[in-house]
Structure 1
Amino acid sequence: MTFSFFTLASPFSVFVFIVNILFSFTIIFLERKTPQSTYAWLLFLWIIPVLGFVFYLFFSQNLTKRKIYRYNTPENEQYQLLLRRQKKALVDRQRIAKNKTIAKKYRYNIEYHLNVSHALYTDNNSIDIYTDGHEKFNALFKAIENARSTVHIEYYIIKYDGLGRKFMELLTKKAREGVEVRLLFDEMGGRYIPKSALKELESSGGQYGIFFPSRLRFINLRLNYRDHRKIVIIDGKTGFIGGFNVGDEYLGLKKKMGYWRDTHLKIEGYAAYELQMRFFLDWRTSGNKAKLNINSENIHRYFPYMENCEGSGIQIVSSGPDDPNQVIKQGFIRMITNAEKYILIQSPYFVTDESIMEALKIALLSGIDVRIMIPNKPDHIFIYWATLSYVGELIKYGARVYIYDNGFLHAKVLVVDDQIAAVGSCNFDIRSFSLNFETNAFIYDPEIAVKLRDIFYRDIEKSIYYDTMAYEKRSRVIKVKESISRLFAPLL
């Protein structure tokens, strides 16, 4: 009598085996995933069959073919006209950046974002940098308090604690005064806001929306794709962008994380137009409830006239799982490959892909000073172990790694050569590059780059230097944790 797997196994085991085979076939042949992501999903499916199957259903949707955004809108028609003018100027070899050094050296960075990211280049912007939550929220609340026409807000996380209540009360107050208030938040990150607070905002004349909400009431198959953006636009003239969410922990009031070290920008100037456009595109994903009535007669209410003045060059660049180009990551790579002196990186998570790793290795082997700063404590333990693995690999090539030891480092900053910088919501990790909806400001201004460089060096004084010796001394248990975490890095 002969036996086979199918005669010995239970019907359920056979079912799971067949399902895994089918899903493996789908992952390998039908879905355009990276090799790293493909290997990770296959491993997960076969090590933990049932749980892996459930996770795959919830976390592995491909959005690159989905039409999430509406572009046939009055405001977008005007924006596209400006884009065409700038593209033509570059084709005609005209200089669109006022700074001659920037115009010459970073022309192709600007052109890339114009062509692929559809990001306008604007020169006349003033920038304030905030690294402390109290300073940032004082500035934000003051700007909202002084708003006269519109307040548009988009955040990943809004907690309903001391700061969150004050935040919601201020928005409700401004709506009651007749200011157009629109609040947009991520479906997961906004779950802390009670319905009573949202209803009060609505009854006062304000509006709220959930970014790209799930079509199913109790099952969200889009769990893996989060609106990670943190942007605010006041009266169409003033914008905020960076890493701070809304909640007491971002003021350093939570003992677990301690002092919260982040980076946020206040921008006054034409870059606010780009943030406004980003907000409107995202707002229109939130359903029929969140209607916009913009036309040729009232468009100046949202895009007001501003005097031309000297200031920082900025492009507001957004990326998401609906776009296969990963434009923020590609923008980082262009900055890294342009470097001649130094590269400074601050990120709470450093779980990146081979393209970033290779670009940094080439820079290191070319004599570029590469410095990376990460937190001293994890808010996601597996990601932290994977982070140590990736920075450890770069240490072998000569990178200088610092572990910030004065609280939790949440800043997302890249600075190159005292010339250009990038600040926003995008971490140096695979999730930010390919799964989250992110927005960053790419800044072409030596003065701002130097300020961010100086902030980095002040942070070094509050950090531990993580050198080759320290990395090699880590325990065998830590090495195993790093290896396992890195193996599943594309899924983290």
Structure 2
Amino acid sequence: MKKEELKENVRGYAQKFEDGGLRLLKKGQKGIVHAIFSRFGLVLVLLLLQVGLLFSIFRWFGNLLPHYFGGSVVVTAAMVVYLLNSKMDNSAKITWMVVVAILPVVGVPLFFYVKSNAGHNLLRKRLMELENTLRPQLPQNREVVERLRRAEPGAASLAKYLHGPGGGFPVYENTAMTYFPSGEAKFAELLRQLDTAEKYIFVEYFIIDEGLFWGRVLEILARKAAEGVDVRVMYDGTCEFSTLPRDYPKRLEALGIQCKVFSPVQPFVSTHYNYRDHRKILVIDGRVGFTGGVNLADEYINHVEKYGRWKDAAIMLEGEAVRSLTALFLEMWSVLKEPEFEAFLADPIPVPEHTQGTAAPYGDCPLDGERVGEMVYIDLLNRAREYIHIMTPYLILDGELETALKFAAERGVDVHLILPGIADKKFPNALAKTHYSALLDSGVKISEWTPGFVHAKVFVVDDREAVVGTINLDYRSLYHHFENAVWLTNAPCIRDIEEDFQATLEQCRTVENNPKSIWQGRFLFRAVGMLLKVIAPLL
């Protein structure tokens, strides 16, 4: 398509918000009538019919249980032995044992259905192929690791893991790192950097929603596409449930923007709904990259209010470490096409002035058997000497991570968590509070941010290491989602991260180790949390 035609499409599609921003949805597009009669409505109906059919089958078998009680006891015992000898996390083992023991007719086939990962074997095979192709494109500079080893041997061991079993992600020097303590701060710099694009812009986000934030970004993307810049956008298929219509990729393509949807909504019950692309990556010309908790929607910059004020965090990289962010995007983009790693990763990256420290962007894939996000968090907890300060929106822990938090506090480390004062989801919030008492008993400090919802995913350790990314402290992030983050060592912005933690802490209430402080008199809420904890790994 010629530049003149692209510009004409931009003029044809653009409808201005009163506050500025490109809008592609027509008025009423998100209404109830549209939801019912759209393709999404049909998909939802088909899904509900399949779920109803499955439960009807299970219920029919359930009525036969009295006649086959002896058989169910044998099956349950066999499943317990099988689960005890499986490689899954201990918390998941306990959950499945409870499910199988209470509802063997439902629990046994459900377990093997989930374990089979129906529909994802081809995706797993393809991702492993891409990872093997990608690894040679991301070599590790041994001198960088040697300097890191001399400064901090423990950090060098983590670097070895990330470039080995962790997925082949190097540690880089020659990178400037800028921390943003809010979505508003990222928004302003993101717009400025997008205007500098000359070759390509890669955008991969879990949530995109039309409004001021996305509208302003889309205006620049459309203009850059009309100028000949290679613009690609990828978002998770759950957006089709809530924020964007099914044909949104076509609307972007009419503006000259390539668009893909990861795991779009399909009218079939499948375990693929477990695996979502929760990453937030934006790369400009391979020299500037953004990541963190901030999605492309207005609540993330407090332009609209959801759950009080919204507290988030992000980071911008400039220099060599951006190569891994580019690689992460290309890996997901290439699932259904030939990879383009050499075309975008071979060129040298300009090194900005005044660089210090190291940065290691990394990804976490739920299909490769490595819990990279959790392993990085546990390693930081085990190596912390003075403090480890954490901001997270959710706290649904497996046994290993809870033990690491408690052990760090018990050996004298200042372990302090900031969680939301106003939660966005009631059930995860109830589950989070079930962990409070055990953590507080061990000396872990817990605070809740009273102005609203904390969505930042940040670890900062001893003024020398930090992680900023998309990885929550819950089963969804640690086991089921495609995630990404950046591990930093000895960078100047680590001081900024700790200052942000302390500034956020000033607006928090301290949680004491008693039911009144933890549950605030909500007895039913407490009961819900205790019940949900039994099946926490399945949520």
Per the alignment, residue 488 of structure 1 pairs with 535
Encode CA deviations 1:125-155: one digit per residue, 9 max, x unaligned. 1111112222212221222222110000110
CA contact (8 A) 2:334 2:340 kept: no
Encode CA deviations 1:386-414: one digit per residue, 9 max, x unaligned. 11111321111111111011221001011
Pair 1:340-2:410 in alignment: no
Pair 1:110-2:165 in alignment: no
2: CA distance between counterparts of 1:457 and 1:195?
Answer: 43
Pair 1:241-2:288 in alignment: no
Q: Are the structure 2 counterparts of residues 34 and 224 from structure 1 closer, same or farther at C-alpha, using a change threshold of 3 Å?
A: same
Any idea what SS the aligned residue of 2:290 has? strand
Any idea what SS the aligned residue of 1:367 has? coil
CA contact (8 A) 2:291 2:315 kept: yes
2: CA distance between counterparts of 1:427 and 1:171?
Answer: 29
Displacement of 1:172:
2.5
Any idea what SS the aligned residue of 1:123 has? coil
Any idea what SS the aligned residue of 1:182 has? strand
Pair 1:29-2:82 in alignment: yes
Within a 5 Å distance, the mapping from 1:63-74 to structure 2 comes to: 66-69=124-127, 71=129
Displacement of 1:242:
0.3
Moved more, 421-430 or 318-327: 318-327
Within a 5 Å distance, the mapping from 1:358-397 to structure 2 comes to: 358-397=403-442
Q: Are the structure 2 counterparts of residues 359 and 152 from structure 1 closer, same or farther at C-alpha, using a change threshold of 3 Å?
A: same
Q: Are the structure 2 counterparts of residues 473 and 186 from structure 1 closer, same or farther at C-alpha, using a change threshold of 3 Å?
A: closer
2: CA distance between counterparts of 1:264 and 1:115?
Answer: 26
What is the TM-score with the length of structure 1 in the denominator?
0.85
**Higher percent of residues as helix:** 2
Per the alignment, residue 464 of structure 1 pairs with 509
Pair 1:306-2:353 in alignment: no
Any idea what SS the aligned residue of 1:350 has? coil
Moved more, 136-145 or 333-342: 136-145
1: CA distance between counterparts of 2:254 and 2:126?
Answer: 29
Q: Are the structure 2 counterparts of residues 379 and 149 from structure 1 closer, same or farther at C-alpha, using a change threshold of 3 Å?
A: same
The CA RMSD measured in Å over matched residues stands at 3.3
Displacement of 1:171:
2.2
1: CA distance between counterparts of 2:517 and 2:396?
Answer: 17
Q: Are the structure 2 counterparts of residues 312 and 480 from structure 1 closer, same or farther at C-alpha, using a change threshold of 3 Å?
A: same
Moved more, 31-40 or 396-405: 31-40
Q: Given the alignment, which residue of 342, 356, 363 partners 2:401?
A: 356
Pair 1:155-2:205 in alignment: yes
Q: Are the structure 2 counterparts of residues 401 and 55 from structure 1 closer, same or farther at C-alpha, using a change threshold of 3 Å?
A: same
Per the alignment, residue 318 of structure 1 pairs with 363
Structure 2 unpaired stretches of 5+: 1-58
1: CA distance between counterparts of 2:269 and 2:218?
Answer: 28
Pair 1:453-2:498 in alignment: yes
Pair 1:201-2:201 in alignment: no
Any idea what SS the aligned residue of 2:313 has? strand
1: CA distance between counterparts of 2:132 and 2:524?
Answer: 58
1: CA distance between counterparts of 2:303 and 2:190?
Answer: 18
The one-letter amino acid of 1:40's match is: T
CA contact (8 A) 2:181 2:497 kept: no
Q: Percent of aligned pairs with the same residue?
A: 25
Any idea what SS the aligned residue of 2:295 has? coil
Structure 1 unpaired stretches of 5+: 1-8
Within a 5 Å distance, the mapping from 1:15-164 to structure 2 comes to: 29=82, 32-44=87-99, 62=117, 66-69=124-127, 71=129, 76=134, 78-80=136-138, 82-83=139-140, 86=141, 89=142, 96=145, 98=147, 102-117=151-166, 118-164=168-214
CA contact (8 A) 1:253 1:259 kept: no
Q: Are the structure 2 counterparts of residues 303 and 16 from structure 1 closer, same or farther at C-alpha, using a change threshold of 3 Å?
A: farther
Any idea what SS the aligned residue of 1:441 has? strand
CA contact (8 A) 2:175 2:318 kept: yes
Displacement of 1:256:
3.5
How many residues align? The count is 468
